Amino acid sequence: MTRDASLFVQLGPVPPDDLHVDGVVVQGTGGVYDVRLASGATASASLRGRLKHEDRGALKLAVGDKVTLRWENSDPGAWIITTIHPRMSKLARRAPGGARGERVVVANLDQVLVVFAAARPEPHPRMLDRFLVIAEANGLHARIVVNKCDLVTPEQAHALFREHADAGYPVHYTSIATGEGLQELHDALAGRSSALSGPSGVGKSSLMNRLFPGLDLRTAAISDSVNKGRHTTVGAVLHPLPCGGFLADTPGLREVGLWGIDPVDVPHCFPEFAPMLGKCRFADCLHTVEPGCAIRDAVVSGTVSRGRYESYVKLREELSAQH
C-alpha cells in the first residue's frame, strides 16, 4: 500500500495549510486510521478536534467510512479527520436490545459475496440461506459464487442453487482449475466495495489470489468457521482493488450473526416473499400454521421453494427464541 510518503510527493514536501481531502477509512487501530485518497495514496489520520457529522452521539468511525481530512500544518504536521460522511450501509454486529450495543464491522459495503463449493466441501443451501438473511438484514446486496465447478457437471452446478437464482440472487459459477466465470466475477467486484463470506475450504483465498495477485488477504480471517471464537483479535481491513473498489477482509458474516434481527423482519429477508407480503388472511400472519397464508400458498404452487421456506421457519423460530 502506498503510504504517506507518496502523498507528500504529490502534494509537495509541505502540503498547504488547511488543505481538505476526501477519502475512505481502510484500516484503523488505536485512534490512527489509514485513509485511502482518490489519488491512490494512503494518509494516516487521527480523530481529534471537533467532528462534524449528523449523528454525533451514535456514530463511531468504522472501516469503510467516507471522511474528509484536514492537513494541520503544525510541527510535525498531521492529517485530522474533520468529517464523517453519512453511511450508505453498514454491516453491524448487533447486541440484543437494539442499536446501543451495535458495532459496525464495515461501512458502505455495496455487496456481499457468499462463496460455496460445488463439491468438496458439499454445499449446504440452508447454510447459504442463513448468510443471505444476515446480508438482507444489513441491507446489503448478495451475490452467490459456486466455486470448484470443475468437480461437477454444469447441470449439477446449476441445480445446486437454482432456488436462489429463482429468488433473484445473481449466481456466479467459477473454477480456479478451468478459469470459468473468473472474468465475470472480476467485473462484479470492479468499482464496488465487497465483503466475502462462506465456509472454509471453498476457495475464497484461491479466487481472490487469482483475481488480484498480491492482495495479501489474511486468509484465515475470511474463513467463517476458522475464525469462530477469534473475533476479538480481528478487525476489518479494506483492500483497494486495482480495478477500483475495495475488498473487505472481515471476520465474516457468520460472526456478525443473526443476533439482534427482529423476528418480524425475517419475511423481508427473503426477497421472493415480497409479492405475497400483506396478502395473507391475517395481518399478523407468521406464515407458519395460519390458514389463508399467501406465503404457504406460494410454496404449494411452487412459486417459493420448499427449502427456502423451511429456512424461513427455522430462522424465524431461532430468532423468536432469542428475543
Q: How far is the CB of 203 from ligand GDP (least distance, A)?
A: 3
> Of the two residues 113 and 298, which places its CB atom closer to Zn ion in the complex?
298
Give dist(CA 163, CA 257) in Å, integer. Answer: 23
Give the residue, chosen from 133, 280, 298, 319, that forms a contact with Zn ion under the rule CB under 5 A. Answer: 280
Give dist(CA 227, CA 223) in Å, integer. Answer: 6
> Of the two residues 82 and 200, which places its CB atom closer to ligand GDP in the complex?
200
Binding-site partner at residue 311 among ligand GDP, Zn ion, none, CB < 5 to 8 Å by type: none
Binding-site partner at residue 295 among Zn ion, ligand GDP, none, CB < 5 to 8 Å by type: Zn ion
Our separate counts of H helices and E strands in the chain read: 9, 13
Give dist(CA 25, CA 19) in Å, integer. Answer: 18
Give the residue, chosen from 109, 137, 285, 315, that forms a contact with Zn ion under the rule CB under 5 A. Answer: 285
Query: If residue 8 lies in a helix (H) or strand (E), which one and from where to where?
Result: helix 4-11
Give the residue, chosen from 94, 239, 287, 316, that forms a contact with Zn ion under the rule CB under 5 A. Answer: 287
Binding-site partner at residue 201 among Zn ion, ligand GDP, none, CB < 5 to 8 Å by type: ligand GDP
Q: What is the DSSP string of 41-109?
A: -EEEEE--S--B-TTTTT----TT-EEEEEEE-SSS-EEEEEEEPPPS-EEEEEETTEEEEEEEEEES-
User: How many Cα neighbours within 13 Å face the side chain of 90?
Assistant: 18
Sign of CA dihedral 61, 62, 65, 68: positive
Binding-site partner at residue 182 among ligand GDP, Zn ion, none, CB < 5 to 8 Å by type: none
Q: How far is the CB of 168 from Zn ion (least distance, A)?
A: 20
Task: List contacts with ligand GDP (CB under 6 A).
Answer: 147-148, 150-151, 175-177, 200-206, 219, 223
> Of the two residues 207 and 295, which places its CB atom closer to Zn ion in the complex?
295
Check binding of 266 to Zn ion (CB under 5 A): no
| DSSP one-letter code for 136 | H
Tell me which stretch binds Zn ion (CB under 5 A): 20-28, 178-186, 226-234, 276-284.
276-284
| DSSP one-letter code for 275 | G
> Of the two residues 168 and 278, which places its CB atom closer to Zn ion in the complex?
278
> Of the two residues 75 and 155, which places its CB atom closer to ligand GDP in the complex?
155
Tell me which stretch binds Zn ion (CB under 5 A): 97-105, 163-171, 186-194, 282-290.
282-290
Give the residue, chosen from 293, 298, 315, 319, that forms a contact with Zn ion under the rule CB under 5 A. Answer: 293
Q: What is the DSSP string of 189-228?
A: HTTEEEEEE--TTSSHHHHHHHHSTT----GGGG-TTTTT
> Of the two residues 101 and 121, which places its CB atom closer to ligand GDP in the complex?
121
> Of the two residues 82 and 147, which places its CB atom closer to ligand GDP in the complex?
147
Q: How far is the CB of 156 from ligand GDP (least distance, A)?
A: 14
Phi, psi of 125 (to 5 degrees): -60, -35
Determine how many CB atoms are found less than 10 A away from the CB of residue 300: 10
> Of the two residues 15 and 123, which places its CB atom closer to ligand GDP in the complex?
123
Binding-site partner at residue 206 among Zn ion, ligand GDP, none, CB < 5 to 8 Å by type: ligand GDP
| DSSP one-letter code for 164 | H
Cell numbers representing residue 248 in the block: 473487505
Helices (H), 238-305: 253-256, 294-301
Work out the angle at residue 160's Cα, subtended by the Cα atoms of residues 314 and 90, and round it to the nearest 5 degrees.
55
Q: How far is the CB of 12 from ligand GDP (least distance, A)?
A: 43
**Number of amino acids touching Zn ion (CB under 5 A):** 5
Binding residues for Zn ion (CB under 5 A): 280, 285, 287, 293, 295
